[in-house]
């Protein structure tokens, strides 16, 4: 279902938590959107929002619910890139340029509502407000950095390398333990592997004395060995 120019349906306190609208007042955001044309689109669970390769014609912002971005890797497997929850934008770094197409297929995880602002209308907003312009530039820079890190992660060939990289990044340079917030199935989707395969690797690492897992707490017992695993990959 599509609702045109229904700006009164938007939760502006939530919208202003979006990286693009952050720092604006609720009345300021409402006033700006009242000057342009946009849509609010609704999607059911597991309904495709956009397919990889489609032209990016709108700035999409998740207003309610969440979506997942997935792509097909070199072996033909579906790899989940990330989940995007309200009130985050989608593919904001691909609005402009010669190859402004969605790099991933986006699917709704749950019933979801999305704000769709056509690119010409979004340009009007950028010209209206310098805070919005700065926020957008910061947002696309952050996305470029994230995608660079994600490509680096996907370059690891084995599950052990991916797990080692993930664990080291989560712990950081200063700590050896961290709380694992993601469920094992979510990690398996992130790594592009089956849950049993991931469980086997985690078990092997524990048996080898590399890590220790107690409930949701993961302790890196041998960071040097985990780093060596990546260097020798």
Instruction: Check residue 82 and give its pLDDT.
Output: 85
Give me the mean pLDDT over the 120-139 stretch. 94
Determine the Cα–Cα distance for residues 167 and 211; give it in Å rounded to an integer.
Answer: 9
Instruction: Check residue 229 and give its pLDDT.
Output: 84
Round the average pLDDT of the chain to a whole number and report it: 88
Instruction: Check residue 196 and give its pLDDT.
Output: 93
* pLDDT > 80? residue 6: no
Dump pLDDT digits (tens) for 139-194.
Answer: 888 877 776 766 666 667 788 988 998 899 899 888 899 998 888 888 887 787 88
What 8-state DSSP symbol labels residue 217? E
Instruction: Check residue 111 and give its pLDDT.
Output: 97
Pick the CATH number of 159-231 from 3.90.870.10, 1.10.940.10, 1.10.443.10, 1.10.10.10: 1.10.10.10
Instruction: Check residue 155 and give its pLDDT.
Output: 67
* Ramachandran angles phi, psi of 28, nearest 5°: -65, -45
The CATH T-level fold of domain 2-154 is Jelly Rolls (2.60.120)
Which residue is listed with tokens 């470029």? 144
User: Please, is 137 exposed, middle or buried when counting C-beta atoms within 10 Å of its C-beta (0-12, 13-18, 19+)?
Assistant: exposed
Instruction: Check residue 78 and give its pLDDT.
Output: 78
* pLDDT > 90? residue 42: yes
Q: Read off the pLDDT band of 4 (50, 70, 90).
A: very low
Instruction: Check residue 149 and give its pLDDT.
Output: 67
Classified as helix, coil or strand, 121 is helix
Give me the mean pLDDT over the 108-119 stretch. 96
Dump pLDDT digits (tens) for 13-22.
Answer: 999 999 999 9
User: For the ranges 29-38, 67-76, 85-94, which has the lowest average pLDDT?
Assistant: 67-76
Instruction: Check residue 93 and give its pLDDT.
Output: 86
**pTM value?**
0.65
What residues does CATH 1.10.10.10 cover in the chain? 159-231
Instruction: Check residue 187 and give its pLDDT.
Output: 85
What residues does CATH 2.60.120.10 cover in the chain? 2-154
Name the more confident of 73 and 183. Answer: 183
Determine the Cα–Cα distance for residues 81 and 68; give it in Å rounded to an integer.
Answer: 7
Sheet of 217-220: strand order equals 177-179, 217-220, 211-214
Name the more confident of 63 and 2. Answer: 63
Instruction: Check residue 103 and give its pLDDT.
Output: 87
């Amino acid at each position: 279902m599509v609702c045109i120019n229904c700006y009164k349906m938007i939760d502006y306190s939530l919208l202003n938590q979006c990286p693009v609208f952050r720092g604006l007042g609720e009345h300021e955001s409402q006033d700006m959107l009242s000057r342009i044309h946009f849509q609010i689109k609704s999607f059911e669970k597991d309904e495709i929002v956009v397919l990889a390769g489609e032209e990016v014609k709108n700035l999409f912002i998740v207003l309610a619910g969440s979506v997942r971005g997935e792509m097909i890797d070199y072996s033909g497997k579906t790899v989940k890139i990330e989940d995007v929850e309200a009130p985050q934008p989608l593919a904001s770094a691909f609005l402009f340029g010669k190859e402004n197409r969605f790099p991933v297929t986006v699917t709704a995880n749950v019933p979801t509502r999305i704000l769709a602002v056509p690119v010409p209308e979004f340009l009007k907003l950028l010209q209206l407000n310098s805070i919005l312009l700065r926020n957008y530039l910061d947002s696309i820079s952050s996305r470029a950095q994230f995608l660079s890190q994600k490509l680096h992660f996907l370059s690891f060939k084995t599950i052990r390398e991916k797990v080692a990289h993930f664990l080291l990044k989560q712990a950081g340079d200063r700590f050896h333990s961290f709380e694992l917030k993601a469920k094992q199935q979510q990690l398996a989707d992130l790594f592009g592997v089956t849950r049993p395969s991931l469980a086997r690797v985690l078990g092997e690492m524990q048996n080898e004395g590399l890590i220790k897992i107690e409930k949701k707490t993961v302790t890196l017992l041998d960071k040097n060995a985990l780093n060596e695993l990546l260097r020798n990959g």
